[in-house]
A and B are shown apart, each in its own frame.
Chain A
Amino acid sequence: AQSVAQPEDQVNVAEGNPLTVKCTYSVSGNPYLFWYVQYPNRGLQFLLKYITGDNLVKGSYGFEAEFNKSQTSFHLKKPSALVSDSALYFCAVSDRGSTLGRLYFGRGTQLTVWP
C-alpha cells in the first residue's frame, strides 16, 4: 500500500532563512512524488514533481526537493524563505502502476515564515 508521512505538523522559520519541509514515503515499485501548496480558502497548487532522472527537482516559487531513494524521502527545500511562503504544504505519492492521477497525501505541514 502507498503511504506518505510528514513528520512535522508545523515548521516555523524566519524570513531569509532556509526552510525544509520533510516527507517520507512508502510505495510498491518506483514512486511518482509531488509537492502541493494550499493557501487559506484556496485549492491545491502544484509545486513540483519527481518522476525520474535528476534527484534534485526544481519547482515553482524557488522551491526544490531532493529525492533520496535509500532514505525513501522527498524533502521540500527553499534557500531563502519569504513571508508569502506561509501556507499548508502537502507531499503526495502515486504508484506508477496505479490509476493515473490518483494520489496518496501526507497529513500536511503548516509552514509559518515570520518577518
Chain B
Amino acid sequence: NAGVTQTPKFRILKIGQSMTLQCTQDMNHNYMYWYRQDPGMGLKLIYYSVGAGITDKGEVPNGYNVSRSTTEDFPLRLELAAPSQTSVYFCASSLQSLNTEAFFGQGTRLTVV
C-alpha cells in the first residue's frame, strides 16, 4: 500500500491563479481530511469528508473547495490564490471514525507570490 499520496510536492502560484491539490489513498478509508500547517501554528483543519459524496467545513475553509466523488480521492481546490494561502497542506485519512488514528501524506508546499 502506498498510503496517502499528495501531488504536487511543491508549487508556486501567482496571486489570483487557481490550482487543485491532489490527494489519493489506497487504504479504503472512509474519512479524509485537509489540514494546513503554518510555522508555529500547528495544523488547522480546512475541510473533511466522512465518505464519498459528503464533505464538511473545518476551522479555516474560506478560499478553498473540496469534492469527494470516490472513496480514494479528495482534491482541494484553490480558486483565487492569495498570499495568505502560502502554507504546507497535508491530506490525511482514517478508517473507523473521525477521532481515530489519521494517516498523513507527505504534504504540498504552496507559495503564493
The answer to whether A binds B is: no
